[in-house]
Amino acid sequence: MAHRRSKINIGLAWRAFVSLFVLFCLTACVPAVRVARVDGQDAYKIMTVNALSSEQASDWSRNTVNEWGLLKRFDEQPEAALAELREIVTSGRGGRRELFALAEFSFLHAKKTGKKPYHLAAAIYAYAYLFPTKSEDSAGKLDPRRRISADLYNRAITTAFKSKEGGSVVLAAGKYPLPFGEIELTFDPEQLNWGDRYLADLTPVTEIEVIGMRNRHRIPGLGAAMTALALPREGVDVHKSLIAPSAQVAATVILRVENVREGIASGQMKGSLDLYKASETETITMEGREMPLEIDETGPIAVQLAGSPIWKQEFYGFFGRSAMNMKLPALMSLEPYRPGRIPVVFVHGTESSPARWADMANDLLADPWIRQHFQFWYFFYDTGNPIAFSAMLLRDKITEAMRRMDPQAKDRCLNEIVVIGHSQGGMLTKLTAVDTGDRLWNTVFSIAPDKLPKTVHSRELLEKALIIKPVPSVKRLVFIATPHQGSFIARNWVNNLLRKLIQLPATVATLPLQALKAAGAFNSETEFSKGDLPTSVDNMTPGNPFLEGYKEIPVVEGVPYHSIIAVKPEFPIIVEGDDGVVKYTSAHLDGAVSELVVRSSHSTQAEPQTIQEVRRILHVHGNELEQRGLECSPSQTKLTNAERNP
């Protein structure tokens, strides 16, 4: 029995030996280093992974940390590993590679734990990497670590100074803890002032998804890009301010660090927080080097429009009612008046608002040359009013702004205004640059102004609206889908219904129609003669006396004008087509410097072709001024030809 058990044990041992031998042979045949093919897209993802885009550091940082035997320790004791890596740098054993790794791994640890000192440390380490001492080698221009370091710096500023609630960034002087000491930062609250406003609710634009705009434009650079709410400063009357109510401002936060290398070693650091507004500054000097600021112009526009009552005002404004706490008409901007830049005045159409220019303004501001040479203003008005009345208000607002912004008339560029109007807004635009004499007056009245009854106290208003002189500062016009010959969708039955619904302003509604009618002052063909006040739709109806007079009045000599005409794609012959509201033959104007037909519907302001044509026209306007010796650009630096024509 014992002999049999012995034989079984020997057999088992032998089989175990053979198994181990086979396993050894198999593993010995597997090479220690292998390769596997991946497709190009996956390969790029692997190559570009970093702490900002994932929960893992880049290969550069992982390699550096692994070379010092700290990669596993970071997983188990991250703060101890970071402290040891910092000691490697401060002792002189490590250099810029280790600084980059410190920035990434500090950011990763901060993301995981929410500890602000590590966010701030990440920004400081990235700062040290980006601005090496003279004795250190700079990273090559194509080294991706440069851009990653800038993005780490930008993002870490955002997270290091977030409010307790987490929605906004709070800038304040004080001492801030670091994992290895503290940093004392200064901040001048005066930097929050912006024109007649002060900035509040600084929100990181990187955390905002923009939905509904065609393009999102960012200027890559240094700093945490913000959008800030511009609130009125004490004593400011927002109704007289050029800056729009609840304007959002593109701004950038910069963290400066004094003697950063010595501070990392000692643990006692000093620096400053600085806030720059995109409308004022695009480049700064840091550590003796000129650096572009990180700027997002689209985010603030989207934040301002999202949930704004301006959308309701488009409908209510047509009927003369208010859906927002704002007095109309208004000429407004999204930034303070900037001397040395040419104003572009956008005039919206019927049942519309300045919000409809958002895509165009966004794309135009992406052009560095336009940004440096022009400032955008927006006319906002109740679109149901008679066109002559709305046009008078536009002229008044432009003249008033000129007088208020430049009372001594020193800014020559302010007198080179470009007015751009869509649909009904194009008709208002034309009426900024005409000399009507008594032609419009005679479409309404059968007697001269001085023959009106002496009891009519509104004679001045009527004369201002119907006897028009050009605004001297308006030097170029752009018409977009403008019904110069009227709109074919306007019909008398529609007009009669609308006239009952539209609330006209008191200055118009209180006109003494009966007294004027009794005096035989009215032309027999007008709405006035029937005891009615005309609406804008009346004025755009083919055959309307006002329209008949309007279309015969030319733009004054010396003011070039351009036409952008929308025609739907289904019309094979352009001249027989329309955009659903306006026929080509109505939008066409003889004498235009240029005419572009865009295949689109009536709301063509956001079409790429339309925007590119406006961009071209603005370049033409600026070039012609330069040829006359007028340089309208208070920019800090001259742009290269490539920047001028991107």
Please tell me the distance from the alpha carbon of residue 95 to that of residue 228, in angstroms, as a whole number: 38
State the DSSP code for 206. Answer: G
pLDDT band for position 306 (cuts 50, 70, 90): confident
Q: According to the model, what pLDDT value does residue 636 have? A: 39
- Average pLDDT for 72-97: 94
Which amino acid, residue 383? T
Q: According to the model, what pLDDT value does residue 641 have? A: 41
Tokens representing 302? 């989207």
Q: According to the model, what pLDDT value does residue 315 have? A: 52
Work out whether the CA dihedral 63, 65, 70, 71 comes out positive or negative: negative
pLDDT band for position 497 (cuts 50, 70, 90): low
Q: According to the model, what pLDDT value does residue 382 have? A: 87
pTM of the model: 0.87
Q: Count of CB atoms within 10 A of residue 88's CB?
A: 18
User: Between the CA of residue 128 and those of 80, 82, 178, 182, 464, what are the distances in Å?
Assistant: 21, 16, 15, 16, 64
Please state the separation of Cα 8 from the chain's center in Å. Answer: 85
Residue 611 has pLDDT above 70, yes or no: yes
Q: According to the model, what pLDDT value does residue 48 have? A: 81
Work out whether the CA dihedral 311, 316, 317, 322 comes out positive or negative: negative
Please state the separation of Cα 245 from the chain's center in Å. Answer: 16
pLDDT band for position 454 (cuts 50, 70, 90): low
Phi, psi angles (nearest 5°) of residue 456:
-80, 100
Q: Is-cis flag, bond preceding 329, omega within 30?
A: yes
Average pLDDT, the chain: 86
What are the strands, taking DSSP E only, across 287-334?
289-292, 295-296, 330-333
Residue 540 and residue 483 in contact, taking contact as beta carbons nearer than 8 Å = yes
Q: According to the model, what pLDDT value does residue 34 have? A: 75
Instruction: Establish how many alpha carbons lie within 13 A of residue 13's alpha carbon, considering only the half-sphere containing its beta carbon.
Output: 6
Please tell me the distance from the alpha carbon of residue 176 to that of residue 170, in angstroms, as a whole number: 13
Residue 66 has pLDDT above 90, yes or no: yes
- Average pLDDT for 95-109: 95
Q: Round to the nearest angstrom and report the end-to-end CA distance of the chain.
A: 96
The crossing angle, in degrees rounded to 10, of helices 96-113 and 59-67 is: 110
Please tell me the distance from the alpha carbon of residue 348 to that of residue 368, in angstroms, as a whole number: 25
Please tell me the distance from the alpha carbon of residue 46 to that of residue 64, in angstroms, as a whole number: 17
Counting residues of the chain whose pLDDT is more than 70, the rounded percentage is: 83
Counting residues of the chain whose pLDDT is more than 90, the rounded percentage is: 63
Residue 72 has pLDDT above 70, yes or no: yes
Tokens representing 454? 């002496």
- Average pLDDT for 566-576: 95
Please tell me the distance from the alpha carbon of residue 257 to that of residue 463, in angstroms, as a whole number: 64
- Average pLDDT for 480-508: 69
- Mean pLDDT comparison of 196-200, 343-347, 379-383, highest-scoring range: 343-347
Please tell me the distance from the alpha carbon of residue 446 to that of residue 428, in angstroms, as a whole number: 24
Cα–Cα–Cα angle for 167, 260, 226, rounded to 5 degrees? 25
Closest CA to 376 of 336, 404, 426: 336
Q: What share of the chain is helix, strand, coil (3-state, %, to 5)?
A: 45, 20, 40
Residue 621 has pLDDT above 70, yes or no: yes
Higher pLDDT: 13 or 614? It is 614
State the DSSP code for 490. Answer: -
Torsion of CA 58, 59, 62, 68, to 10 degrees: -140
Q: pLDDT, tens digit, for every residue of 459-474?
A: 788 889 999 999 999 9
